[in-house]
Copies of this chain bind each other. A is one copy, B any other.
Amino acid sequence: MGTPAPLAAALRYAHRHRARFLDDVVELAAIPSVSTQPAHRSDVRRAARLLARRLRRAGLQDARVVATGGHPVVTAGWGNRPGRPTLLIYGHYDVQPAEPLAAWSSPPFRPTRRGDLLVGRGVSDNKGQLLTHVAAVESWLASVGRLPVNVRCVFEGEEEAGSPHLPAFLDRHWARWQPDVAVVSDTRMRDATTPALTVSLRGSLNLELTVNGATTHVHSGTYGGALADPARELCRIVAGLHLADGTPLPQLRWGTRALTESARRVSARSGPSDNELLALARAHRPGPGTVEPGWSAYERTTIRPACVITGLQAGYTGPGRQSIVPSSATARINVRLAPFQDPAVVEEALRQHLRATARAGVRVRLRRLSAAPPVELPTRGPAVEAAVAALRQGFGRRPVLLRSGGTIPVVAELARRRDLPVVLMGFALPDDRMHAPGERLSISCFHRGTRTAVAFLHELGARFPG
């Protein structure tokens, strides 16, 4: 079966303009749109405006930067034809903090090309992947003059902050958009040549634990031994979040459900081996207390909950030293939730545990920074078929079905509305170092991703009843 002429024209356009599409990634990734750092507030807005200009250049004249209670959402749309399906394209133009800066070999916000790699914060997560869809829209409109489907773009600026304002935003616009399917490109391929559809995401519960002792730092000689030591108490509490065998507290596992044996076999076939997963993290062996009989590393990171300490701070750890009992200590805790767990239930269970194990003499506070539920997506249906066909067009191979340990808050929000089919069709590589220093994008995957996005519009139009 040959490629239909309009699709062929759009693909040709995408190929001819691929260098410029990559330039767009460089330009957008040069803006430090770190949504969680107040100092970058105006950079986030600047990135939103640039993205809106790109959408207009792609032919979406109604592109707008829409204010929310936090950072703005960039929206744009095309088409309202009743006989056609409506596709919601979600992406996020905000990025993780770049710290620690010293660990980057080139400045994080000066995207730098190294062979097939573009290195910079956000190039993969999510600016590069998001822009494949913008490039696809332009390729269709500039070559064919129309899109095969109606399109609604929703590009937010708060994904890395847990998407606090997105649910209300979706509520406000849902009735007008009435999407039939959604696509999100913010996930990984199996490897450089094997594309993947992601079929589940873990949820995420971000907490800040603070222990307060005296009202000020005091001398560790004069008072050490009689006074509350908040850092020590914090360590006791954090250590108590895992059992002696290294598994998380039962409370952190409330609501998990066993997969069927056949589902586990499917997972095991397509996912990385233990050694492969460790190699991707550039680790030589599993961490202490992370080997659990009966569960592979891939399963431990995708269908089992995990509790990670993402930050610790107390007292003074700068050059030299300070002989003090610090007045307070803080831990940041990131609980990743397995499919079917409820973040609210887990949080409440954790609070009960803290109350039950509290000791007098310090004040302990647990603050929720964000919460997003896990999702388990359907693996069949026209949306999945369209994605499979598009990925074959883009990469020349049928995708595998993968489970992700990451979280994209919007996906649960979308999926719970009218059971909207959500396609997670990502072009990142497993070693793209998302969230880490040296984040990078495979340029060839970016180009193939653009081809895939071009083809996806066609395949959806061909398959969907609308």
Contacts and interface: CB of A to CB of B under 8 A. Distances in A.
A195 to B, nearest CB: 18
A461 B347 CA distance: 71
Contact of A227 (B97, B290, B361): B290
A228 interface: yes
Instruction: Identify which of A202, A216, A430 gathers the most chain B CB atoms within 10 Å of its CB.
Output: A216
B204 A287 contact: no
A226 B288 CA distance: 9
Interface residues of A, number: 107
A419 interface: no
Contacts of A232: 238-239, 241-242, 307-309
Interface string A265-281: 00000000010011001
Interface in A372-408: 404-407
B225 A288 contact: no
Contact of A218 (B161, B227, B238, B281): B281
Contacts of A219: 406, 434-436
Interface in A186-203: 188, 202
A436 to B, nearest CB: 5
A7 interface: no
Given A213-B283, A217-B435, A286-B361, A311 B320 contact: no
Interface of A: 34-39, 96-97, 99-100, 103, 160-161, 188, 202, 204, 206, 213-229, 231-236, 238-242, 274, 277-278, 281-283, 285-290, 297-298, 300-301, 304-326, 329-332, 334, 336, 359-362, 369-370, 404-407, 430, 433-438
